[in-house]
Amino acid sequence: MGLQYLLPILEWGPRYSLELLKHDFVAGAVTSIAIPQGIGYAQLANLPPTIGLYSSVVSPLVYAVMGSSTELVVAPAAVVSLLTGAMLGAKVNANENPTLYLHLAFTATLFAGIFQAFFGCLEIGQVSPGLNPLSITHMVFVSPYILTAVKIGIVTGIICLARGIVVCKSFAMSKNYHIDANKEMIAFGMMNILGSFTSCYPTSGSLSQSAAKVNAGGRTAASNIVMALAILFTLVFLTPRFQYTPIAVLSSILMATIMGIVDYEAAIHMWRVDKLEFVVCMVAYIGLVFGSIEIGLVIVLGLSLPRLLFLVSRPRIAVLGNIPDSVIHRSIDQYPNAINVPRILIPEISSPIFFANSCYLRERILRWIAEEQDNLKSEEKPSLRFLILDMGAAVDNIDTSGINMFEELKKNTDIKGLKLFLANPRGEVIEKLNKSKLIEAIGQKRIYLTVGDAVEACNSMLYASKPKQLAIESDYSLISEMFELPILELEESECTSVEIYYE
């Protein structure tokens, strides 16, 4: 089973049939028509045209053995080619030193494959004929070029992974089967590692060729083998014909590709959904077009990281109210018909609680308590008595800073005369709170599965019973024996009467 995980061909290969071969042969032949595209993409990276064809042979063969998607076609990609050409060109001039430039491209491809495989293991011109020449001895591991190769490898490796996995999952969803992202990362990594040894540059999943394969009836990854063999045949026997391909033809392919990269509909959709994200996108686009790829990436990171930090340190927190004629509690801002529960404040926390947001959460909750007490006082209504923290599915973790936040919140509520309740805490959160003795300080009787249960318990502690009330002086067991009925267990320090239910 372990070998089949790494080499999925061992799983589907024994079941392969002639019927499947007919479909895959047609699909492979269709996708191999994009030979000029591989040549054009190599020129985008300022590499010899044959490098694009070499990359279209080795990578599909490796993916056919190690890949798990039945629809994905791997080939050189326009974005990766542009990145490779721009980043390599900033260090070495392809015209002045073509050999060093080529060797750096192979080295960057090696590092891209290493990083991709590592992420997967974490469970994160002129055309000359011939076969791929070995390039394992052409790696550049000397300063200052090694750092350039590592940087290019990381950037192109991440982009190749993101692009390939997105294409894989989009087709997997349409076909209703599961794609293991870690397995795909390992496959992409080995694909580029072996490619770097055989004169290839980084490759990724191709959406257009994958769609062409699906439309042509491709059934398995074997169509990648058919495509690779067709391109290999072209390299050995037909390359002299491609030597006279007009530059205008290759230029038209590149222009069509570049126009396809600009997704106007996505930009319009972004403007409608999130205007701040649209602004970040446009600023990065301007920096990329009028500056360089590095400037565009720096702008994206410079604008995105502060926004991410703001969202992490200022998580969404809302006050819950009761939906009339139900036991459901929802945000009073989102649901206009939700009403505040008298004398009870119910904040809902919607993120893990850790050092980046614990201070904000504490201050926000204490501010709500103060505001609610002032409002009740001004309206001459009974004061606030209970604080219920809704810790639903979003609060799936807590660190020591979050535990300190709860301790300080408990001290503040005790000083204000409020009782602290917890609703729906997750298992890991409960475990950490228990180890820190916080469960003991809060009280196990104040932890409930749902907000509705906690509210019901608070109301039982607030209001005396109808139709009969009895004063509690010392011993609850005496009352139980008098009426021969179970009673609601209450802490003596928290009440002066008990509600008795009987038929």
Domain identity same for 59 and 184 = yes
Query: What is the CATH number for 374?
Result: 3.30.750.24
Note whether residue 196 is domain-resident.
Answer: yes
Spell out the residues 6+ positions from residue 92 whose beta carbon is closer than 8 angstroms to its own: 100, 101, 104, 145
Please give the tally of structural domains in the chain. Answer: 3
Note whether residue 442 is domain-resident.
Answer: yes
Domain identity same for 343 and 396 = yes
Measured from the Cβ of residue 305, the count of other Cβ atoms closer than 10 Å reads: 10
Domain identity same for 224 and 295 = no
pLDDT at 207: 77
Domain identity same for 450 and 308 = no
Domain identity same for 307 and 322 = no
pLDDT at 181: 81
H/E run at residue 39? helix 35-44
Domain identity same for 245 and 364 = no
Domain identity same for 389 and 419 = yes
pLDDT at 11: 85
Note whether residue 200 is domain-resident.
Answer: yes
Note whether residue 250 is domain-resident.
Answer: yes
Summarised one tens digit per residue, pLDDT across range 52-96 is 888 888 889 999 999 888 888 888 888 888 888 888 888 889 888
Task: Record the pTM.
Answer: 0.59
Note whether residue 475 is domain-resident.
Answer: no
Measured from the Cβ of residue 4, the count of other Cβ atoms closer than 10 Å reads: 12
Note whether residue 188 is domain-resident.
Answer: yes
Domain identity same for 164 and 293 = no
Domain identity same for 229 and 336 = no
In the DSSP assignment, the letter for residue 243 is T
Domain end position, chosen among 199, 229, 262: 262
Q: Are 104 and 91 in contact (CB under 8 A)?
A: yes
Nearest to 350 by CA among 318, 307, 308: 318
Nearest to 429 by CA among 457, 390, 388: 390
Note whether residue 413 is domain-resident.
Answer: yes
Domain identity same for 50 and 171 = yes
- The stretches in the chain having pLDDT less than 70 are 1-2, 33-34, 122-133, 239-262, 292-294, 464-503
pLDDT at 488: 41
Domain identity same for 1 and 118 = yes
Structural domain range at position 395: 317-464
pLDDT at 321: 94
Note whether residue 242 is domain-resident.
Answer: yes
In angstroms, the Cα distances linking 368 to 34, 51, 165, 373 are 63, 64, 44, 8
Helix (H, G, I), strand (E, B) or coil at 53: helix
Domain identity same for 382 and 301 = no
